Amino acid sequence: MVYIDIQHREVTLKLVYYGPALSGKTTNLQQLHRLMLGHTESELVTLDTRDDRTLFFDLLPLEFETRGGFRIRLKLFTVPGQVIHNTTRKIVLQGADGVAFIADSRVSQTRQNNESFANLKQNLRENGIDFKDVARVIQFNKRDLPGIRSDDAIKKIATRGSEPVFTAIAIEGAGVAETFQGLASLTWEKLETNFNFAERFGVTHGDFMEKIESLFQAKGSG
């Protein structure tokens, strides 16, 4: 749930990267951090589990100031994909304003993708969050691997759901910024609908996205 501090003129948003184990959630945040170098001094905080394969969560805090004088803070988290860490996933989802579901493009991972998506719905519900009220995007990652779903198959999946669908090769940085920008845009649209940000705080969707997009521009460019 968005946190609005009127006294200090701050708005804090929480975005969560969700999905099955090893689908590329952490890689997305690592690449975002790399792509934003020079535009943010934020650090990527990582806590490893003992098996060295699952990350409990990553925190990528971003912040910038809008023309209306409000400071916008975005906190990006990943959740552990392995089943044994469901309690941690549920905790990290608490108060989420937006969710990027990172799916593995390989056909062999279809069951894992479906189970993780169902788990997302369940954990949101148990946290008292209506699935329909959360901004959501889907990313089909690992498009460089053999045995993946075809582009046509992914387009068909996109027509069946309400979430925007992106494709990516996160390890190369491809599709990472687009997924994040899509999620940020949808999240702000929902906030505008629910809280009328433009009128109350002088922060428009255009202002917000202009700042988001500037994080990915080459340093020194307009």
Domain residues of the chain, as ranges?
Answer: 3-214
- Decide if 61 contacts 73 (C-beta within 8 A): yes
Could you name the CATH architecture of 3-214? 3-Layer(aba) Sandwich (3.40)
- Decide if 123 contacts 86 (C-beta within 8 A): yes
pLDDT at 152: 97
Q: For the segment 92-107, what is each residue's pLDDT rounded down to a tens digit?
A: 899 999 999 999 999 9
| Cα dihedral 162, 30, 219, 74 sign | positive
Kindly report the average pLDDT of the chain as a whole number: 87
Rounded to a whole number of angstroms, the CA Rg of the chain reads 17
pLDDT at 71: 83
Q: How confident is the model at residue 47 (pLDDT cuts 50, 70, 90)?
A: low
- DSSP designation for 94: T
pLDDT at 61: 65
Q: How confident is the model at residue 200 (pLDDT cuts 50, 70, 90)?
A: confident
Q: Is the pLDDT of residue 197 over 70?
A: yes
pLDDT at 214: 87
pLDDT at 57: 44
User: Which residue has better confidence, 66 or 189?
Assistant: 189
Other CB atoms closer than 10 Å to residue 144's CB: what's the count? 13
Q: What percent of the chain has pLDDT over 70?
A: 89
| Of 114-128, 144-158, 202-216, the least confident | 202-216
What tokens were used for 200? Answer: 């109350």
- The predicted model scores a pTM of 0.91
80: CB partners within 8 A, 6+ apart = 21, 49, 54, 55, 56, 57, 88, 89
What tokens were used for 8? Answer: 């200090």
